[in-house]
Structure 1
């Protein structure tokens, strides 16, 4: 069926870009964005071309700095830190609160930039912005008892984060760090979110909050952003390969660190019968195409329940909605309600499609392979970054889909016959951030949960990262360093009494997973 959709008026990338130029002319030029360091916007770095995952059209690319300039930016941030750490808490609170008001004023523009830059559907893009603002307001309102007698670190916090949650993970962390008395540095993710972060940092910088935002390759900037003696703490969110290199560097230097890394989050099905409840949650697990650290790409299913599982799972996965995030039939129509749009880029979509094909060649059984519905896209648009849901039974051990997080809408199912096999399959990636067990008997579920190597284990429901009262961390190779969330996020970026031991995943200190 040919498409009759058009782009909703006022939502084109050119519209968003012109609004950025009007709102923050100090941070944007007609043909590029700027880097923010030493307290001012700098027209340095080498801008690279970039394309929107939504339709392949050109958007703003990162102005990449070299290592020498990045080191200058770090030294300048230390100078800012030395002044900011002595600013009275009421002043810090007032400046952060003013920054939140500015972000709130431009909420819809920030969300629109997220749609174009990282492909989030409108509902999820708005939620990313709102979670950042609402989350930091919670800290602004309750920071005094969290800080107590604690003091800022000796140097700024360096933030290196993945592209998938620029606001609710990266900007949220930066503002809490600044509220705690630290100057903050952020590396703009290479794959997306640059304009959104630039606008957010422009609004924050105007309020006198010491933020630095630079672009560049990880290999080029790591010496400055990870190894520099001026850095007081390294906060990293990303994959295990890069995270492993960062972990080695901070261990060698004895530097404070928060390293969140990927893990294969699993949903176990054992002695279970409430299939309506499972069917209701399956589409929600596909939010943003499972491009998030708490996604569930693996189901570990008791073999005797496999037929019942499929009867609940397949209709649910077939109901998942995928399409162009800004396409409407009529100008006054609301933006489409989608579970996800494109993946972060066409290369990622191809990588996953190739992995699926290779796994099938090696013995995996394709249970479901979705297709793109032309009626959900603009006529003739580039759809190379879109990958419909895929479900495979029994990925072979030689496939990356067997042991690693796909970071996309590819589910794998493993069948087991014993509790020991269930636990072994759920612990396949040597640690994860979250997991879930669906069992009719809660006592059995809690007993099994204690053996799952995930930090948060849900009982019949998914677990999330959490930003407020609930702490967050991981086990095994999914986490290194201080745990965060609530008061622990503040403790992770401040200094307490001499000899204090921070809760976290350090070689000699572990907390038990939490089940709920």
Structure 2
């Protein structure tokens, strides 16, 4: 990280108060001076208990979610079914036109949506704008290709219920909602507990203006799950989040026989075996720290052939030391563009402390600290609160008793495991019983072709990181990292529509799996 300049300043026009004022002007129906509203039955309601919230950027107050209770959520679900019954009969040409108009409106408010993401979930500007752009561009592709995807298919009997984590409100949640609506379904979404409510509220307001049947509610998962998962009105459940919550939802939808898409966490790994392109690897390492590895396709684990460890470290350590972190809106001069950072804060101070404690505990139990970054090297405003920030950390051989050994840290903590045989390599890469992505770096194509099918990840890259993907590319998971229908391309549409009698969507089900 570069040394911090003497005094940084907040970029003019980017303060939370500026973002909030612009949101009030853009969608006065959805915002009040001190809170956001819930959206159900096609109208905005000042119901629910508005919670206090702080920004991960600097712990300053921002607006929190207006949490409904279970009975109110059930009322919202029943109203969504009424919307669904009307919307499913709207001609496809009209649905395409309305979704297209929504995308135009989102494009017109691109910078405001991105600024809200910066304040609410701590994304650097480059990544926040990319999140907005991926949502818009991805849904446009579906608008252009939906005719073929819907041939012989009909909407579900009830609305799609969306429960997603906070890290990608636009490119995951809004993207899914608009494609589901394009396919003929009313959509329900729960705002993530940890952030993104204002961004989602603005996006939903723009969609509702164009006649899209959106329901947006806030509340605790425990209180709203009965309505959003178990209600007979729900036609499909789409979930993105952790394994514990995902397992409970999986049990519920299995009992009820509901269509479902459940994306869950997994420890994505990068294996190094009989490999020599260290310059290429060093160029990739900083990019793997995008958004502080707070994403489902992050790579927090390297599994390295022991005889290559010295060469790996020679490539890895200079690369990780170049990672840039700090306040995403801090500039040297008011006229400067926003900084090109790899990441800002974690989602909150509690998460930063949790990871710091896990690192300390792992070291106490025998892990070797190979790298510890310092917040003193970051870009921060004078005197700002940095409690949600964590500098990169790299540990060698975390003990099996540590959560860092078998679980996704969801933060800028890398772990390295050394192995001597191919069998050990595969065992270490499969430590979490299923993952979304993995990579194997090896010079020998035959070795890759032989080992890659034994790695329990949905996508395995050869020397390159894999991502969630967009448009035609499938996405799913193996083992405990996924339950239900796969998505991507026409599979996303198939997952939220009905086809020929007896058809089952490809996915990770107990008795069926599509091998990508």
TM-score (normalised: structure 2): 0.99
The aligned counterpart of 2:507 is: 504
Distance in 2 between residues matched to 1:412 and 1:260, nearest whole Å = 23
**2:64 aligned counterpart, secondary structure:** coil
The aligned counterpart of 1:85 is: 88
Distance in 2 between residues matched to 1:29 and 1:375, nearest whole Å = 36
The aligned counterpart of 2:242 is: 239
**1:49 aligned counterpart, secondary structure:** strand
1:130-172 alpha-carbon deviations (Å, 9 max, x no partner): 0000000000001000110100000000000000000000000
1:345 matched to 2:348? The reply is yes
**2:120 aligned counterpart, secondary structure:** helix
**1:62 aligned counterpart, secondary structure:** strand
2:192 to 176, 189, 194: 189
1:473 matched to 2:488? The reply is no
1:113 to 98, 113, 116: 116
Question: Structure 1 residues 315, 140: closer, same or farther in 2, change over 3 A?
Answer: same
The aligned counterpart of 1:489 is: 492
Q: What is the deviation of 1:376?
A: 1.0
The aligned counterpart of 1:229 is: 232
Distance in 1 between residues matched to 2:449 and 2:277, nearest whole Å = 17
The aligned counterpart of 1:7 is: 10
The aligned counterpart of 2:380 is: 377
Q: What is the deviation of 1:331?
A: 0.8
**1:33 aligned counterpart, secondary structure:** coil
**1:50 aligned counterpart, secondary structure:** strand
The aligned counterpart of 1:27 is: 30
The aligned counterpart of 2:427 is: 424
Give 5+ residue unaligned stretches, structure 2: none
**1:435 aligned counterpart, secondary structure:** strand
**1:378 aligned counterpart, secondary structure:** coil
Q: What is the deviation of 1:443?
A: 1.3
Q: Give yes or no for contact 2:358–2:404 (8 Å, CA) kept in 1.
A: yes
RMSD of aligned C-alpha atoms? 0.7
Q: What is the deviation of 1:3?
A: 3.7
Distance in 2 between residues matched to 1:62 and 1:259, nearest whole Å = 24
Q: What is the deviation of 1:510?
A: 1.1
The aligned counterpart of 2:177 is: 174
Q: Give yes or no for contact 1:5–1:375 (8 Å, CA) kept in 2.
A: no
1:459 to 458, 462, 474: 462
The aligned counterpart of 1:140 is: 143
How many correspondences in the alignment? 513
Q: Give yes or no for contact 2:324–2:378 (8 Å, CA) kept in 1.
A: no
1:304 matched to 2:304? The reply is no
**1:237 aligned counterpart, secondary structure:** strand
**1:63 aligned counterpart, secondary structure:** strand
Distance in 2 between residues matched to 1:442 and 1:87, nearest whole Å = 51
Q: What is the deviation of 1:446?
A: 1.6
Where do residues 2-401 of structure 1 align in structure 2 (5 Å cutoff)?
Answer: 3-373=6-376, 376-401=379-404
Distance in 1 between residues matched to 2:355 and 2:274, nearest whole Å = 32
Q: Give yes or no for contact 1:2–1:374 (8 Å, CA) kept in 2.
A: no
1:1-40 alpha-carbon deviations (Å, 9 max, x no partner): 6741110000000000000000000000000000000110
Distance in 1 between residues matched to 2:392 and 2:423, nearest whole Å = 30
Distance in 1 between residues matched to 2:377 and 2:313, nearest whole Å = 27
Q: What is the deviation of 1:356?
A: 0.1
Q: Give yes or no for contact 1:266–1:426 (8 Å, CA) kept in 2.
A: yes
Q: What is the deviation of 1:293?
A: 0.2
Q: Give yes or no for contact 1:431–1:476 (8 Å, CA) kept in 2.
A: yes
Distance in 1 between residues matched to 2:285 and 2:514, nearest whole Å = 30
Distance in 1 between residues matched to 2:31 and 2:73, nearest whole Å = 20
Q: Give yes or no for contact 1:257–1:482 (8 Å, CA) kept in 2.
A: yes
Q: Give yes or no for contact 1:49–1:59 (8 Å, CA) kept in 2.
A: yes
1:312-362 alpha-carbon deviations (Å, 9 max, x no partner): 000000000001000011111000000000000000000000000000000
Which segments of structure 1 move beyond 6 Å, counting only runs of 4 or more? none
Where do residues 401-420 of structure 1 align in structure 2 (5 Å cutoff)?
Answer: 401-420=404-423
Question: Structure 1 residues 241, 350: closer, same or farther in 2, change over 3 A?
Answer: same
**2:375 aligned counterpart, secondary structure:** coil
Distance in 1 between residues matched to 2:456 and 2:379, nearest whole Å = 40
